[in-house]
């Protein structure tokens, strides 16, 4: 049987590797349009902050390893342009512009997501950060231009990580965003804490500022805005991503939230012989039970595994996602899992939120720091709906307790009874999450 995979990063190579382990005689072909496969994209901002470490150290496994050790027919520089469902074939062109056509019995679309750069004059001067080649280009540009100033369009996860990385290199950073709200998914007082952390590290924030055009001025870049002009040695575009679902749409497969590819819990598309996994596909949200599109690395790898499991029968059903995420910006960690208050309202809940300030450890312990927790519950059912956290200590791993509770469908009252670990170097007797749940339960 021929198993063909379009896309050679997280979901695609996870599926290929697991399929090879389970089915030694399966013919596996991976078609990847770039020349990079299986790399840690999430590590790119941290690699950029380290001039001495090559970007290629982020490659987890090379194409040659997949070919030689795992007998996977991995073809880089192969861009698929069409899926011919009636013929069970995919076609496209190589990097040398040579046409190719490959037949399949089972097909996986793992095309990921692509940056959504704003449609304005000079947008080609913006440097995105999504693929390994983008990381190489940014790192080289910093070196070649001896960059002292950088502008970042956007203030999301990647933008936050990049403003820290560039600042660590001694580069002055300004960030631009048309909305006046900083991190709008956080309550305003918690967002203000993060905003102050960014500002105190020398980053200039231009909230409520729209870039109207970009032009090259000698060896620099000039951003023309509605209320100012910004000059920089390089400009980064970090305004979000969208699913690469064009192939699926062209061939008539059903699409879903944000034009992601619609899949069931077994990762099957509307064609039972075609799967989709990774950032191009949708997922069920464990809190709402509805379809959502949240592109995150763990889901991509897990979905790739599940596709391999389900090639011949329904073996692995994925429960869904809670949207659990964390990012670091300077000394702060910012995390979330589940729904915010506004998201819960849109989903039809009767939500209540409560914010508390606690300590990450027993107050007199070295390293103890304030931790801010906002917890959301449903007034009708008492169900825990989500949590957002900010702090310099103990945030990243605590949010995982919330994720487990959301997957288990726990109520706030149930969560209060959980037996969380306590020792003075790690937590107060009443963990901040338990304190937040107790206070929220009073409102519910």
How far is CA 315 from each of CA 77, 87, 281, 407, rounded to the nearest angstrom?
Answer: 33, 27, 19, 20
Q: Going by C-beta distance under 8 Å and a sequence separation of 6 or more, which residues neighbour residue 438?
A: 416, 430
Q: Going by C-beta distance under 8 Å and a sequence separation of 6 or more, which residues neighbour residue 409?
A: 286, 383
How far is CA 385 from each of CA 142, 341, 388, 399, rounded to the nearest angstrom?
Answer: 43, 9, 11, 13
CB-count exposure of residue 142 (10 Å: 0-12, 13-18, 19+)? buried
Given the residues 42, 163, 225, 244, select the one marked as catalytic: 42
Cα distance between the two ends of the chain: 55
Looking only at the bridges linking them, the beta strands covering 172-177 and 291-292 are: unpaired
Q: Could you give phi then psi for residue 332, rounded to 5 degrees?
A: -100, 150
Q: Going by C-beta distance under 8 Å and a sequence separation of 6 or more, which residues neighbour residue 235?
A: 125, 126, 127, 150, 151, 152, 153, 214, 221, 223
Looking only at the bridges linking them, the beta strands covering 384-391 and 370-378 are: antiparallel
Q: What is the 3-state secondary structure (H, E, C) of 199-266?
A: HHCCCEEEECCCEEEEEEECCEEEEEECCCEEEECEEEECCCEEECCHHHHHCCCCECHHHCECCCCC
Q: Helix or strand or coil: residue 33?
A: coil
Is 244 among the residues known to form the active site?
A: no
Q: Going by C-beta distance under 8 Å and a sequence separation of 6 or more, which residues neighbour residue 313?
A: none
Q: Going by C-beta distance under 8 Å and a sequence separation of 6 or more, which residues neighbour residue 408?
A: none
Tokens standing for 401?
A: 């307790």
Residue 125 DSSP code: G
Cβ 382 vs Cβ 444: under 8 Å: yes
Q: Helix or strand or coil: residue 268?
A: strand
Active-site residue list: 42
């Amino acid at each position: 049987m021929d198993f063909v995979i379009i896309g050679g990063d997280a979901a695609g190579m996870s599926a290929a590797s697991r399929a090879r382990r389970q089915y030694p005689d399966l013919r596996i072909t991976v078609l990847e349009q770039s020349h990079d496969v299986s790399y840690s994209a999430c590590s790119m901002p941290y690699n950029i902050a380290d001039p001495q470490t090559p970007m290629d150290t982020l490659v987890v496994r090379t194409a040659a390893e997949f070919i030689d050790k795992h007998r996977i027919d991995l073809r880089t520089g192969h861009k698929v342009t069409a899926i011919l469902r009636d013929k069970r074939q995919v076609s496209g062109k190589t990097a040398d512009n040579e046409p190719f056509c490959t037949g399949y019995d089972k097909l996986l679309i793992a095309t990921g997501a692509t940056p959504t750069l704003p449609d304005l004059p000079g947008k080609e001067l913006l440097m995105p950060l999504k693929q390994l080649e983008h990381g190489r280009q940014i790192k080289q540009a910093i070196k070649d231009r001896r960059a002292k100033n950088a502008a970042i369009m956007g203030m999301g996860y990647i933008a936050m990580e990049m403003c820290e990385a560039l600042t660590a290199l001694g580069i002055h950073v300004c960030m631009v965003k048309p909305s006046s709200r900083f991190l709008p998914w956080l309550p305003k007082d918690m967002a203000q804490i993060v905003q102050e952390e960014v500002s105190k590290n020398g980053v200039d924030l231009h909230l409520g500022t729209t870039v109207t055009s970009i032009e090259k001025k000698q060896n620099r870049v000039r951003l023309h805005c509605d209320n100012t002009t910004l000059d920089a040695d390089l400009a980064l575009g970090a305004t979000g991503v969208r699913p690469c679902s064009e192939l699926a749409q062209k061939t008539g497969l059903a699409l879903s939230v944000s034009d992601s590819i619609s899949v069931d819990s077994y990762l099957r598309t509307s064609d039972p012989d075609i799967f989709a996994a990774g950032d191009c596909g949708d997922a069920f949200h464990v809190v709402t039970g509805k379809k959502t599109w949240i592109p995150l690395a763990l889901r991509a790898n897990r979905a790739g595994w599940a596709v391999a499991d389900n090639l011949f029968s329904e073996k692995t059903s994925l429960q869904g996602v809670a949207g659990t995420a964390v990012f670091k910006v300077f000394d702060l960690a910012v995390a979330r899992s589940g729904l915010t208050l506004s998201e819960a309202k849109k989903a039809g809940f009767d939500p209540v939120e409560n914010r508390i300030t606690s300590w990450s450890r027993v107050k007199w312990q070295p390293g103890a720091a304030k931790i801010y927790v906002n917890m959301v519950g449903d007034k009708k059912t008492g169900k825990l709906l989500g949590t957002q956290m900010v702090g310099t200590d103990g945030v990243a791993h605590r949010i995982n307790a919330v994720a487990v509770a959301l997957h288990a469908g726990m109520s706030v009252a149930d969560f209060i009874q959980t037996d969380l670990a306590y020792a003075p170097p790690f937590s107060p007797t009443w963990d901040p999450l338990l304190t937040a749940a107790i206070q929220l339960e009073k409102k519910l």
